[in-house]
Amino acid sequence: MIVVRISDDAQAVALGADALAAAFEQAGCMVERTSSWGMHWLEPLVEIDGMGFGPARADDVAAILDGASAKAIGRIAEHPFIAGQQRLTFARAGKTRPLNLDDYAATGGWAALSRARTMVCADVVAEVIESGLRGRGGAGFPAGIKWRTVMEAPGTEKYIVCNADEGDSGTFADRMLMEGDPFQLIEGMAIAAHAVGAGQGYIYVRSEYPHAIAKLNAAIALAWQHIAPFQLEVRVGAGAYVCGEETSLLNSIEGKRGEVRAKPPLPALEGLFGKPTVVNNVLTLAAIPHIMAEGGSGLYAQLGIERSKGTMPIQLAGNIKHGGLYETAFGITLDALVNQIGGGTVSGRPIKAVQVGGPLGAYIHPSQFHLPFDYEAYTLADALIGHGGITVFDDSADMGAMARFAFQFCAAESCGKCTPCRIGSTRGVELIDRIRAGGKVHADAVEALPQMHNARKVGRSKAEELALLDDLMEAMQFGSLCALGGFTPYPVRSALKHWPEDFS
């Protein structure tokens, strides 16, 4: 009997994977539902004896089985998009069934947890520090240092919290991992619990990820025999972007309004329910089994550049020909990612800008495409790596409108706790509107722009409005309680710097 492998990833399902699987079953094939390879432009992708066909539809089944399909892509593992990667976190992607414990164990699953539990807590933490692993949620803080703080904090009640509130535009790595390799995340959390002395863990997932939530709940039930006595629970958020910030997330888990807490105290000392808490992103925790399987000085520490060690699952999205997940060591350039690997724009037009790091990341001009994918290099360029999402725009994009959207997004998603974010974002939208109107808004224009009802706003020149905008962004960057308000200036400043003509 022919065995056909088709992903049950949410994206593949949305594109018709279930109907495709049913069609193969009707044709007498055995269908296995696997994780996604991450080549999203080819989904639903069919694999038969290692050979790939995609994007496939139900009416392609006969041609695929006859070996006459025009959608054949050759051996999947040898496809340039896959062969060029250095996959650690996504080593099982496309190869295993997400909820099959035998598949997980056969590919090295639970070995790292078994090793970690033979070690004292301090030695586990020391190896994580030695690996150079930094938080993959955006801040890039050394994971092992955070673990050590929680381990050394007084008290017997401690928590492990996984921040799976993946809200950045153009990001999907967390979702792919939770849906495709949930045991890996669970194993990473169990190792973290052993390292810091925590007995309870929570995975905080946004409600927009129903497939991931279902997979995680099923995986936790199946994995109990391996992770006991560690208790693990999924908590579902309501979709507020600000709950991606760790203290807002903790408030939400506690049943409170999702708003930012002032720091200090840090969550590592007073976190969930006032107890010492490790808060790590999905990709951070999922990297732990690979680190602990080989030790802190193993392959993970040898990959990358400078202080950016290991691999990064980079998500290619937006106006790009080959969108999907590309995991590679730090140091790769944007030119390689968007032009060589991504194939340029799907529209065929020249690339105008690339936004890295979600809706609050800076817009990178093509003249900067030589930048290595590295935390420090991006910081020096007034940019962010964030969660590793890359969104491509062609030359039809209006960067003035995109700068306005950054303020508009911040205003919509602000928790309202601090004034720079709550008020500054709204004033920013108004300022962009006035600047794009050319400055010097006269009295007879006030009725056409109702937000300009304040007479003091009438008569400023464009240069004066730009100076005021700069002051506003400085107040937001340094006065906001969290990164929502603090990072909003990044896309605005970069758009103003590289595409001033779009503000005319």
pTM score, two decimals? 0.93
Express each pLDDT in 415-445 by its tens digit.
Answer: 888 999 999 999 999 999 999 888 654 444 4
Domain 3-83: CATH superfamily is Glutaredoxin (3.40.30.10)
Q: Which residues make Cβ contacts (< 8 Å) with residue 13, sequence separation at least 6?
A: 211
Sign, CA torsion 395/398/403/408: negative
Domain 101-302: CATH superfamily is NADH-ubiquinone oxidoreductase 51kDa subunit (3.40.50.11540)
Strand-pair partners of 3? 30
DSSP string, 262-285: PSSSPTTTS-GGGS-EEEEEHHHH
DSSP H/E element including 143: helix 143-152
CATH 3.10.20.600 domain position(s) in the chain: 305-394
Helices 121-131 + 282-294 axis angle, to 10: 100
CATH 1.20.1440.230 domain position(s) in the chain: 399-503
Judging by DSSP bridges, how do beta strands 389-394 and 351-356 pair with one another?
A: antiparallel
Fold of 399-503: de novo design (two linked rop proteins) (1.20.1440)
Instruction: State the CB neighbour count (10 A cutoff) for residue 75.
Output: 13
Nearest to 232 by CA among 160, 284, 174, 164: 160
CATH 3.40.30.10 domain position(s) in the chain: 3-83
CATH 3.40.50.11540 domain position(s) in the chain: 101-302
What CATH number does the domain located at 305-394 have?
3.10.20.600
Q: Which two tokens stand for residue 408?
A: 């508009």
User: Residue 306 has what pLDDT?
Assistant: 84
Express each pLDDT in 171-183 by its tens digit.
Answer: 999 999 999 999 9
Q: Which residues make Cβ contacts (< 8 Å) with residue 245, sequence separation at least 6?
A: 260, 482, 483, 484
Three-class SS state of 34:
strand
Q: Splitting the chain (504 residues) into consecutive groups of 10 residues, what average pLDDT does each group show?
A: 96 97 96 98 97 96 93 96 96 98 97 97 96 86 95 95 92 97 98 97 96 98 96 94 93 93 93 96 96 89 88 96 96 95 96 94 95 91 91 96 94 91 94 83 46 55 89 93 90 94 90
Q: Which two tokens stand for residue 58?
A: 């139900």
